[in-house]
Chains A and B, each alone.
Chain A
Amino acid sequence: MYSIETKSLTKSFGDVIAVNDISFSVNSGEIFGFLGPNGAGKSTTMMILTTLLKPTSGQALISEFDVMGNAKKVRERIGYVQQETTVDEYLTGRENLLLQAKLNHIPKNEINSRIDEVLELIELSDKQNDSVVTYSGGMRKRLDIAGGLLHRPKVLFLDEPTVGLDIQTRRKIWEYIKKIHKEFDMTIFLSTHYMEEADNLCDRIGIIDGGIIQVIDSPENMKNAMGNEVISIIMDNTHNRESFLSQLKKIEFVKNINEDGTKLTLFVSNGTQVIPKIFQISSEFKIKINTISLTRPTLDDVFLSYTGHEIRDDDSHFNRKREHAKMKRLRS
């Protein structure tokens, strides 16, 4: 049985298609990540799966309940932690969890023990009676996540769980997510635009860009499929670039080349032998190479090879209207 299943799911806002005919399924107990830049359709998909938006067409099922036809059953089975922290600043940590418990109809006699349990898990027991106003960003996020899993949902949705947090806090949150997953054995669906986050947490990743899923696989398989090495070249200028490129493609071990102005990324299987050949060809075409590097492929490279562009590490606040306008311009 799948925890999440979508069939040709599509959502358009006016003439902008935010989610375009996506079909995927998430196994029970899996951590599945949507990886893509802002405006790729991650949040929109998540809002459909959590019953907040109605799809334009297609179907989405949570534990085999339709998000449209059986919204209440779906809501009883999910936890949803939004991108923005939504804890109530005026209330204390414990009061926030109490509110969450009541909203999710946790039986009265279990409320207190459940709250104690998650407070322990996220290490906020000693701060539970302080107003949330006094909490740091990371503490608020932890409290928010705790609220999402208090009622032990079958599926926990985490929308950009670490956006805007510093790297130490981010790692800490990852630890909590792993701990939660182990302890409660729930399916986790998360969206992120951080490669490292997807790589670190997810069993499988769906790369989404422009409302379309480009590929779904485990991070390991994705990286392996890339060839085992990546050569990045930065040329001094684009003079003679086309003929240079066509010669590079002929080198034996080169699987794929991505080009972006003076920057070339080669996915290769035998890098140490390729580099001398590159220099040979560049000298033939009188091309000056500024830098060259040989690395193991990262998810960044995977993303680049599937979407043709790099994911921008953009922390600016997500603005749906602006994203739509941008998408409109790109499409016209």
Chain B
Amino acid sequence: MNSLMYDTYTIFWRELKRYKKSRSGVLIRLIQPAIWIIVVGNIFSGTQPLIQSVGFDGEYIEFMAPGVIILTAIFTSIFGGVNTLWDRRYGFMNKALTSPISRSAIALGKMSAISLIAAMQASLILGIALAIGVNFPNPIMIAPIMAIVILFSLGFSGISVMVAATAKSQETFWGMINFLGMPLFMLSPALFPLELLPNWLAVIAKLNPVTYTVLLVRELMTGVSEGGIPILLSLGILFAFVLVMIGLASYVFTREVNKPF
């Protein structure tokens, strides 16, 4: 157990070192969520009466800001595993695989690094939201919000690491990731209240871990709870999701990297 932690930290350290040296990507990756929050937030400002009808009395942009924070977390973490493919192509993976560290530690190290990076990106988006006038009644809430984003990204990066370990090429990876990322975002109350979704969509949305994360962050940011789902239930579902993803990702990753690339 001790050595699993040490090995996970080794990989985590390596991933963050690499991230730090390739900083130019940080700003580029912020453009898309910034456009979402600035452009989409204003395009739909006319929907205020709709969101008021479900008990939310702020502006639309305040309603959707938590959604865009989660959007940032989703895409940063789901793209984050792509360097697994480079590692396999350029030999780092073989280097790690012939050393005594466990395969799970490689997956977990990558996941924890990705989740931290996702949280940093999300915090920058939170900053943009505040800068353009989103109201944030209780700044202390920033700590639990970040904790939730880290947790959520840890689970979500598992998807990325699994797909990257399974895919043999960049094309397969990006195909799978685009197929998964957008629907998971859209099928959640990130942009629109759960109560206003057609029934069948609401049912699907309730199977989506993104939904509970958005509800949690929105409640912490705005103080409005939505859809009658208690905080503890959302937290429980989020924890369960993360644990399942950690287990699944370690298993799939170990199985896949033992096959010749």
Say whether B172 faces chain A, with CB atoms less than 8 Å apart: no
Known: A51-B98, A82-B91, A104-B99. A90 touches B13 (CB 8 A): no
Known: A88-B14, A88-B18, A95-B17. A103 touches B99 (CB 8 A): yes
Closest 6 CB pairs of A and B: A86-B91, A90-B21, A103-B99, A102-B10, A80-B98, A75-B100
CB <8 Å contact, A82 and B22: no
> Which residue of A50, A51, A75, A105 is within 8 Å of B3 (Cβ)?
A105
Please encode chain B, from 173 to 188, with 1 for each CB lying within 8 Å of some chain A CB and 0 for all others: 0000000000000000
B54 to chain A, nearest CB (A): 47
Say whether A52 faces chain B, with CB atoms less than 8 Å apart: yes
Please encode chain A, from 77 to 88, with 1 for each CB lying within 8 Å of some chain B CB and 0 for all others: 010101011101
Say whether A264 faces chain B, with CB atoms less than 8 Å apart: no
Q: Which of B95-148 contact A (CB under 8 A)?
A: 95-101
Say whether B94 faces chain A, with CB atoms less than 8 Å apart: yes
Known: A75-B100, A91-B21, A105-B100. A86 touches B94 (CB 8 A): yes
B150 to chain A, nearest CB (A): 23
CB <8 Å contact, A91 and B97: no
Q: Could you list 28 examples of A-B contacts with CB < 8 Å?
A: A50-B94, A50-B98, A51-B97, A51-B98, A52-B94, A52-B260, A75-B98, A75-B99, A80-B98, A82-B95, A84-B90, A86-B94, A86-B95, A88-B14, A88-B18, A88-B92, A90-B17, A90-B21, A91-B21, A100-B99, A102-B10, A102-B13, A103-B7, A103-B96, A104-B100, A105-B6, A131-B21, A147-B95
Q: Which of A119-162 contact B (CB under 8 A)?
A: 131, 147
Contacts A47-B260, A52-B98, A99-B10 aside, 11 further interface pairs with beta carbons under 8 A come to A50-B94, A72-B100, A80-B94, A86-B94, A86-B95, A90-B22, A95-B17, A99-B14, A100-B95, A102-B10, A103-B101
CB <8 Å contact, B21 and A78: no
Say whether A53 faces chain B, with CB atoms less than 8 Å apart: yes
Question: In the docked arrangement, what's the CA distance between A52 and B101, Å?
Answer: 14
Q: Which residues of B contact A104 (CB under 8 A)?
A: 99-100
Say whether A64 faces chain B, with CB atoms less than 8 Å apart: no
Known: A102-B10, A105-B3. A52 touches B97 (CB 8 A): yes
B259 to chain A, nearest CB (A): 9
Q: Which of B14-34 contact A (CB under 8 A)?
A: 14, 17-18, 21-22
Residues of A near any B CB (own CB < 8 A): 47, 50-53, 72, 75-76, 78, 80, 82, 84-86, 88, 90-91, 95, 99-100, 102-105, 131, 147
- CB-based nearest A residue for B257: A52
Q: Which residues of B contact A53 (CB under 8 A)?
A: 260
Please encode chain B, from 156 to 170, with 1 for each CB lying within 8 Å of some chain A CB and 0 for all others: 000000000000000
Question: In the docked arrangement, what's the CA distance between A222 and B78, Å?
Answer: 57
Question: In the docked arrangement, what's the CA distance between A105 and B91, Å?
Answer: 20
Grouping DSSP codes into helix (H, G, I), strand (E, B) and loop, the B interface class, with mixed when no group exceeds half, is helix
- CB-based nearest B residue for A73: B100
A224 to chain B, nearest CB (A): 37
Question: In the docked arrangement, what's the CA distance between A147 and B92, Å?
Answer: 12
B65 to chain A, nearest CB (A): 33
Question: In the docked arrangement, what's the CA distance between A104 and B6, Å?
Answer: 11
Which of A51, A75, A99 has the most CB atoms of chain B within a 10 A radius of its CB? A99
B199 to chain A, nearest CB (A): 50
Question: In the docked arrangement, what's the CA distance between A125 and B155, Å?
Answer: 41
A210 to chain B, nearest CB (A): 20
Q: Which residues of B contact A105 (CB under 8 A)?
A: 3, 6, 100-101
Which of B10, B21, B95, B97 has the most CB atoms of chain A within a 10 A radius of its CB? B95
Q: Which residues of A contact B13 (CB under 8 A)?
A: 99, 102
B88 to chain A, nearest CB (A): 11
Q: Which residues of B contact A50 (CB under 8 A)?
A: 94, 98
Q: Which residues of B contact A91 (CB under 8 A)?
A: 14, 17-18, 21
Question: In the docked arrangement, what's the CA distance between A52 and B10, Å?
Answer: 21
- CB-based nearest B residue for A85: B91
Q: Which residues of B contact A95 (CB under 8 A)?
A: 17
